[in-house]
């Protein structure tokens, strides 16, 4: 690509792939202000988020037989980023790109092609990370969900939309956030059982002091029978340090979940709650 009109990106400030502590537009934050510990490079929430976002990318990239382990490095030549965008959008790039980017300039041009595609798709990159932008757009904002008023959904922020869908799905629990209300694992069981009655029928009897076991049971059932990949690990989703964007990434898969034939649905137990 030697055209003078080629759109290059400023490699002195490459795309930010992960989400910082700033909130995305329209988000109501009820956490305490970020502390020095939260902002540290090795902050626990950052590692969880990196793991979650990487798994989310790989769930989509497996359609084109690609994988990533380090988003910053593996997207550096633009090829896997282009592959991810084409899978998510079900469209091809508007411009040709280098399939064998052996030189730095070729890699920069490939990333530029990907960023120009986002621009033409009206997906704006602001201060938040690129992957979180893609999750917001393709997993939360854009898909049509059952049992939802389309016009009302358009008025909501992505966070409000996802939270509202979950609240309607799980009326038995006061779920008002994407961090504290998920820490004992029982809300996960409730969500799974409401998506497929009988899949986690006894979630109310689960011991709140066994959060990892609760989360593991719910998430394994969701993975096996609802087709909801575990892009976050059970021990991560109940970790007090988990950030809400990692939790939202996982939960955003539920509105499109479909029960598979042969699921081991069971009647509710007889425990007294």
35 pLDDT above the threshold of 60: no
Residue 236 parent element (H or E): helix 234-237
- Provide the pLDDT for residue 9: 46
Q: How confident is the model at residue 39 (pLDDT cuts 50, 70, 90)?
A: low
Q: Identify the pLDDT of residue 7.
A: 43
Above 80 in pLDDT, residue 43?
A: yes
**Confidence at residue 29, expressed as pLDDT on a 0 to 100 scale:** 41
Least confident of 130-139, 151-160, 178-187: 151-160
The pLDDT of residue 142 is above 60: yes
Measure the CA–CA gap between 250 and 114, rounded to whole angstroms: 25
More confident residue, 131 or 7: 131
How much is the average pLDDT of 4-20? 53
In the prediction, which pLDDT does 165 show? 94
Cβ atoms 238, 183 nearer than 8 A: yes
Alpha carbon distance 171, 163 (integer Å): 12
Least confident range of 31-40, 110-119, 148-157 = 31-40
Residues 197-249 have pLDDT tens digits of 999 999 999 999 999 999 999 999 999 999 999 999 999 999 999 999 999 99
Choose between 151 and 170: higher pLDDT.
Answer: 170
Q: Taking residues 51-70, what's their average pLDDT?
A: 96
Q: Which residues contact 155 (CB under 8 A, 6 or more apart)?
A: none
In this structure, what DSSP letter does residue 139 have?
Answer: I
Phi and psi at residue 92, to the nearest 5°: -90, 160
Could you say which DSSP state residue 29 is in? Answer: P
pTM: 0.81
Q: How far apart are CA 29 and CA 167, in angstroms?
A: 18
As annotated, the residues of the chain forming the CATH 1.10.418.10 domain(s) are 36-139, 145-256
CA distances from residue 112 to 9, 117, 124, 135 in whole angstroms, order as listed: 5, 8, 14, 20
CATH T-level fold of 36-139: Actin-binding Protein, T-fimbrin; domain 1 (1.10.418)
Tell me, what DSSP letter sits at residue 23? Answer: P
Residue 236 and residue 85: Cα distance in Å, rounded?
27
Q: What local confidence, expressed as pLDDT, does residue 168 receive?
A: 94
Q: What share of the chain is helix, strand, coil (3-state, %, to 5)?
A: 50, 0, 50
* Helical ranges in 17-121 per DSSP H: 36-39, 44-61, 71-74, 79-89, 104-120
Look at 70 and 8; give whichever has higher pLDDT. Answer: 70
DSSP state of 137: I
- The residue written with tokens 């502390």 in the block is 35
DSSP 131: H
pLDDT-wise least confident of 3-7, 127-131, 160-164, 266-270: 3-7
DSSP state, 64? G
Task: Tell me the pLDDT tens digit for each residue of 147-159.
Answer: 777 777 778 999 9
Higher local confidence (pLDDT), 80 or 150: 80
What sign does the dihedral 230-16-135-109 (CA atoms) show? negative
Residues 6+ apart with CB under 8 A from 159: 24, 26, 27, 28, 178, 244, 248
CATH class given for the domain over 145-256:
mainly alpha
């Amino acid at each position: 690509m030697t055209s003078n009109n080629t759109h290059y990106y400023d490699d002195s400030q490459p795309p930010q792939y992960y989400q910082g502590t700033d909130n995305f537009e329209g988000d109501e934050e009820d956490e305490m202000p970020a502390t020095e510990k939260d902002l540290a490079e090795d902050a626990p929430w950052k590692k969880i988020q990196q793991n979650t976002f990487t798994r989310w990318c790989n769930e989509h990239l497996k359609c084109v037989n690609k994988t990533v382990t380090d988003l910053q490095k593996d997207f550096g030549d633009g090829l896997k980023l282009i592959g991810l965008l084409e899978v998510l959008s079900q469209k091809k790039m508007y411009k040709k790109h280098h399939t064998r980017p052996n030189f730095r300039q070729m890699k920069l041009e490939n990333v530029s092609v990907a960023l120009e595609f986002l621009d033409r798709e009206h997906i704006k990159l602001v201060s938040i990370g690129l992957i979180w932008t893609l999750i917001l757009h393709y997993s939360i904002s854009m898909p049509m969900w059952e049992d939802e008023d389309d016009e009302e959904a358009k008025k909501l922020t992505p966070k409000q939309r996802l939270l509202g869908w979950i609240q309607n799905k799980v009326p038995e629990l006061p779920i008002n956030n994407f961090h504290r209300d998920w820490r004992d694992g029982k809300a996960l069981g409730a969500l799974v059982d409401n998506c497929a009655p009988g899949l986690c029928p006894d979630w109310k009897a689960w011991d709140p002091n066994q959060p990892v076991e609760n989360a593991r049971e719910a998430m394994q059932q969701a993975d096996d029978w609802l087709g909801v990949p575990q892009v976050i690990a059970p021990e991560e989703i109940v970790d007090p340090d988990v950030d809400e964007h990692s939790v939202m990434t996982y939960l955003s898969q539920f509105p499109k979940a479909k029960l598979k034939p042969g699921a081991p649905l069971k009647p509710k137990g007889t425990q007294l709650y």
